[in-house]
Structure 1
């Protein structure tokens, strides 16, 4: 069983400040992993599709998911769908099984009424919010029952085709920078990188 509390300090250090959303990601990620009976991804054993966006409150949720699942942008085993939902799908790529988890709508609404969020709405940076406001919220997230705040789908089939990494590079014939070869474009008989191709349009 994956225990989110064992990843809390790592998550706080990675994320950079205390807030309720990152620990929610830890708890939700742990629930998904336990449902699938998987361990933290060392390479690409897991794949995560986050439904959050990049322009709303509680996006810190994804840092919790990355911390606990080991799905990272560097390993290319996470992507965002930008739906603006506090939900995600975790895929066991080895067994081609997946589970989708979301925050319960009523819980999510209450979370956005918290004193922490009210301070954030006033423009106060998260690291400047007093500990007497954030610490009880963080403790509440880490200690509440999953049933209080998570909707966990049944496990479902998820066909997954793994892609091979590219190790070959070439020089862009316009800017002279080295580029992974599968990203070069042939423009007027020259192999050029994406930014140069866009400039040449």
Structure 2
């Protein structure tokens, strides 16, 4: 089944991200699945935990209202194409894990061409082929049924707690205010993380 978001919302999401790409399509479909599964949960109670920082997170932020600034969008740097959504209203949660096989046969050519593009060794003909493959992949990802795109896992743990306002401490090296939970102690001094990294050494 094709993506159920109205086209104007998809277009706005693309403008927000800056371009259209397969990664953004994955995020759009993840947002679609989350809003369907968590119907009735307002943006104040919805929380997303992304296990990647790829293009799709922009789609999720734009379409769900989960944002870094509100503290209800969290990034866990696990390197997985997975997104967990929680309701603080009723402790309901789901985790969507992207299914690599959903890329189908189109994924056969793309990795090598993308590597050439990054290395700037790609020919004009190959660049055209890569663009064609990306467009076909986007169309595929936007039209496959959700169950073919993601494995959906039900979560039973509580949503991550809301952000707390903590005291700021002055780093005794650079003199900048730093949130207390992000400071480090070294040789009896309170340091911010960058200043701590300058002096702390591991063998």
TM-score (normalizing by structure 2): 0.71
TM value normalised by structure 1 = 0.72
Instruction: Confirm or deny: 8 A CA contact 1:4 1:30 kept in the other structure.
Output: no
Distance 1:31 1:4 in 2: 14
Question: Of 114, 124, 131, which residue of structure 2 is paired with 1:120?
Answer: 114
What is the match of residue 69 of structure 1?
A: 64
C-alpha offsets along residues 151-200 of structure 1, whole Å, 9 cap, x if unaligned? 333x4322235244225333222211122233334444443322223333
1 or 2, which has the higher helix percentage?
2
Match in the other structure for 1:8: 10
CA separation of 1:111 and 1:21: change in aligned 2, threshold 3 A: farther
Deviation at 1:21, TM superposition (A): 1.9
Q: After superposition, give the CA deviation of every residue in 1:55-96 in whole Å (9 maximum; x if it has no partner).
A: xxxx323332333233333344222242x4332221112221
Alignment of 1:152-163 (within 5 A): 152-153=152-153, 155-160=154-159, 162-163=161-162
Correspondent of 2:31 among 14, 26, 29: 29
Which residues of 2 match residues 1-201 of structure 1 at below 5 A?
3=5, 5-39=7-41, 41=43, 43=44, 45-52=45-52, 59-76=54-71, 77-82=73-78, 84-113=79-108, 119-123=113-117, 134-153=134-153, 155-160=154-159, 162-166=161-165, 168-201=167-200
For structure 2, list consecutive stretches of 5 or more residues without a partner in the other structure.
Answer: none
Within 1, Cα distance between the matches of 2:26 and 2:160? 30
Give the number of aligned pairs: 188
Q: Give the distance between the partners of 1:118 and 1:69, measured in 2 at CA.
A: 34
The alignment's C-alpha RMSD in Å is 3.3
Q: In the aligned structure 2, how far is the partner of 1:161 from the partner of 1:197?
A: 28
Give the secondary-structure state (helix, strand or coil) at the position aligned to 2:117.
coil
Q: Is the Cα contact below 8 Å between 1:26 and 1:65 reproduced in 2?
A: yes
